[in-house]
């Protein structure tokens, strides 16, 4: 399933005491992974492609830490390596790793200060948007301070705001790097380091033979289920298999440790392997309960930092105590969906018919919310 456009919005904030106007520089974040997801689907990644794509573009928001985007790109590479090292899936992951992130204050966004897991990402770092202040980073940090120089380099970037895929400088506000170039600016495989204008970043040693899952692996706030170690959103803290909205993960298990499905079909099988029937029905019922809870939410509802939900049919993420709304496409709606290969749910934009089919395939009755209405 191709994830349709999410419309990001910019917020303007007027400072007091004569301070200059600060504008939030944003983008349509879902566009950043569209081509990667297409390549992943074509290579046989199946449902994992959408799960990883959704989790990845969420790291471009202002709230995630400086290394979350790189971690997401690592997850994209991990899956590509299970797909016979599909070159397009790797290439678009490399470009995604360089996509500018949203800036909450029209200042440059700090760079990750640790090495990636995969050598294909060595020496890669995000470009900045043209509207970002090239001399000051988010938090008021001047160039030269912590996080203002990409990992492995010894001097500030020249030109400021550039990245290997766009070495001439920053890119226009809201633009997707993948729309400007399909050359990630690295040699094929990028296993020997990437030459930059400031220094040469050497290839990082392989951390482990089996990549560590970094998507949804941490227990959300308020979750007490000690068995939630599979990273698949099984965040039940009541013992009844019902996740709470604050405990919902955007993605399931790490791509590198699961077997890709043969196709990108959006309707799951009603009888997954490995004893899936033991949790399939409860997954469908948990998704119904979440959708029923989402129906009561509004843009002014209180929320917990990092919480994801659906609000009035739009995807929502809690930032600084308030929901930031990003609309689904014209024909899509946001919904909680049951996982197929493990216990839990995920949140995504999909067609109403697909959401109903996924829930019905688990054996749950009563439609999207369990109330009998669709």
pLDDT at 188: 52
pLDDT at 22: 59
- How far apart, in Å, do the first and last CA atoms of the chain sit? 21
Give the span between the Cα atoms of 118 and 41, in whole angstroms.
Answer: 21
Decide if 64 contacts 324 (C-beta within 8 A).
no
Write out the two tokens for 8. Answer: 């990001």
Sign of CA dihedral 106, 143, 177, 112: negative
Return all residues near 306 (Cβ < 8 A) that are at least 6 apart. 63, 220, 221, 317, 318
Higher pLDDT, 226 or 197: 197
Segment 117-140 shows an average pLDDT of 95
Choice among 7-11, 103-107, 146-150, 234-238 with the minimum mean pLDDT:
234-238
Q: Comparing C-alpha atoms, which of 99, 129, 115, 127 is closest to residue 190?
A: 115
Q: Is 90 exceeded by the pLDDT of residue 256?
A: no
pLDDT at 295: 94
pLDDT at 125: 97
Segment 23-27 shows an average pLDDT of 85
Confidence of residue 129 (pLDDT cuts 50, 70, 90): very high
List the chain domain ranges.
Answer: 29-179, 280-362
pLDDT 10s digits, 277-286: 578 899 999 9
Confidence of residue 90 (pLDDT cuts 50, 70, 90): very high
Give the span between the Cα atoms of 263 and 135, in whole angstroms.
Answer: 47
Q: Is 80 exceeded by the pLDDT of residue 264?
A: no
pLDDT at 76: 96
Segment 16-36 shows an average pLDDT of 74
Give the span between the Cα atoms of 280 and 342, in whole angstroms.
Answer: 8
pLDDT at 324: 84
Mean pLDDT, the chain, whole residue set: 74
pLDDT 10s digits, 303-353: 988 788 999 998 888 888 888 887 777 778 889 988 877 788 888 888 888
Sign of CA dihedral 116, 119, 125, 126: negative
Confidence of residue 153 (pLDDT cuts 50, 70, 90): very high
pTM of the predicted structure, to 2 decimals = 0.55
Confidence of residue 291 (pLDDT cuts 50, 70, 90): very high
Segment 267-286 shows an average pLDDT of 62
Give the span between the Cα atoms of 79 and 86, in whole angstroms.
Answer: 9
């Amino acid at each position: 399933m191709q994830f349709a456009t999410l419309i990001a919005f910019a917020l303007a904030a007027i400072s007091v005491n004569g301070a200059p106007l600060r504008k939030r520089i944003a983008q349509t974040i879902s566009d950043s992974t569209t081509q990667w997801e297409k390549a992943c689907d074509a290579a046989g990644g199946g449902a994992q492609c959408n799960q990883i794509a959704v989790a990845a573009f969420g790291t471009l928001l202002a709230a995630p830490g400086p290394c979350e985007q790189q971690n997401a790109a690592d997850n994209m590479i991990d899956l590509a390596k299970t797909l016979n090292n599909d070159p397009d899936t790797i290439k678009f992951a490399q470009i995604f790793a360089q996509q500018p992130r949203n800036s909450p204050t029209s200042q440059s966004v700090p760079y990750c200060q640790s090495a990636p897991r995969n050598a294909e990402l060595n020496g890669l770092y995000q470009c900045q948007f043209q509207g970002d202040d090239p001399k000051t980073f988010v938090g008021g940090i001047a160039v030269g301070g912590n996080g203002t120089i990409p990992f492995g380099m010894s001097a500030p970037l020249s030109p400021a705001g550039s990245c290997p895929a766009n070495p001439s400088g920053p890119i226009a506000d809201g633009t997707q790097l993948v729309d400007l170039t399909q050359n990630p600016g690295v040699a094929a495989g990028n296993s020997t380091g990437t030459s930059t204008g400031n220094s040469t970043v050497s290839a990082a040693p392989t951390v482990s033979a089996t990549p560590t899952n970094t998507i949804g692996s941490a227990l959300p706030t308020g979750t007490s289920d000690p068995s939630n170690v599979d990273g698949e959103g099984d965040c039940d803290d009541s013992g009844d298999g019902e996740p709470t909205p604050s405990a919902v993960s955007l993605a399931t298990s790490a791509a590198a440790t699961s077997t890709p499905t043969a196709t990108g079909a959006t309707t799951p099988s009603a009888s997954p392997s490995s004893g899936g029937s033991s949790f399939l029905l409860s997954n469908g019922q948990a998704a119904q309960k979440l959708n029923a809870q989402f129906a009561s939410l509004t843009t002014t509802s209180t929320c917990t930092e990092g919480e994801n939900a659906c609000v009035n049919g739009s995807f929502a993420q809690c930032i600084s105590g308030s929901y930031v709304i990003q609309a689904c496409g014209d024909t899509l709606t946001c919904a909680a969906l049951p996982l197929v290969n493990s216990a839990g749910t995920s949140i995504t934009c999909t067609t109403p018919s697909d959401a109903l089919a996924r829930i019905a395939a688990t054996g749950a009755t009563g439609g999207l919310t369990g109330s009998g209405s669709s």
